[in-house]
Amino acid sequence: MSPLLLADLTVFTLALLVGFEVISKVPATLHTPLMSGANAIHGVVLVGVMLLAATTTDVSGYILLAVAAFFAAMNVTGGYVVTDRMLAMFRSRR
């Protein structure tokens, strides 16, 4: 394994552990917003699509890029907006 891959693997493993630790305490009330919020976070895939653009130089690549950008942007904007809408509704006793 190359040092680069090892470093990535280390980061991934630690991220998994942090995820388990941070999320295992969430009350059932918040399960839907949490899932939706996590869903929005994987919208970071848009960053990946943008990085991919740097190496794309042919027409088939452009088409694939446009579709990927459409998917990723939908994931990230929709995910955050819908989560915010849900959470705005959680309020305390008036």
Partner 1 sequence: MNTAIHLVYLACAVSFVIGLHLMNAPATARRGNQISAAGMAVAIFTTVVVLVRDHTVTTGAVIALVLGAAAGGLAGLIAARRVQMTAMPQLVSLFNAVGGGAAALIALGDRVVSNQAAVTGVLDVAIGGVTFTGSLVAAGKLAGRIPGRPITVPFGRPISAALTLVAAALGVWFVAGDANSWLLGGVTVAALAVGVLLTLPIGGADMPVVISLLNAFTGTAVAMAGFVLDSTPLIIAGGLVGAAGAILTKLMADAMNRPIIAIMAGGYGTGDAVAVTGGSGSAAVREITADDAAIQLAYAGKVVIVPGYGLAAAQAQHEAVALAEALTERGVEVTYAIHPVAGRMPGHMNVLLAEANAPYQQLKDLEESNPEFARTDVALIIGANDVTNPAARRPGNPVSGMPILDVDKARSVIVLKRSLGHGYAGIDNELYADPRTAMLFADAKAGLAALLSGLHAYAS
Site for partner 1 in 13-72 (CB under 8 A): 13-20, 22-57, 59, 61-72
Own/partner pairs for 9-18, CB < 8 Å, 24+ apart?
none
Minimum CB–partner distance for residue 43 and partner 1 (Å): 6
Minimum CB–partner distance for residue 30 and partner 1 (Å): 6
Own/partner pairs for 47-53, CB < 8 Å, 24+ apart?
48/72
Question: If we measure between CA atoms, which residue out of 70, 64, 77, 69 comes closest to residue 50?
Answer: 69
Minimum CB–partner distance for residue 9 and partner 1 (Å): 8
- Give the count of residues interacting with partner 1 (CB under 8 A): 86
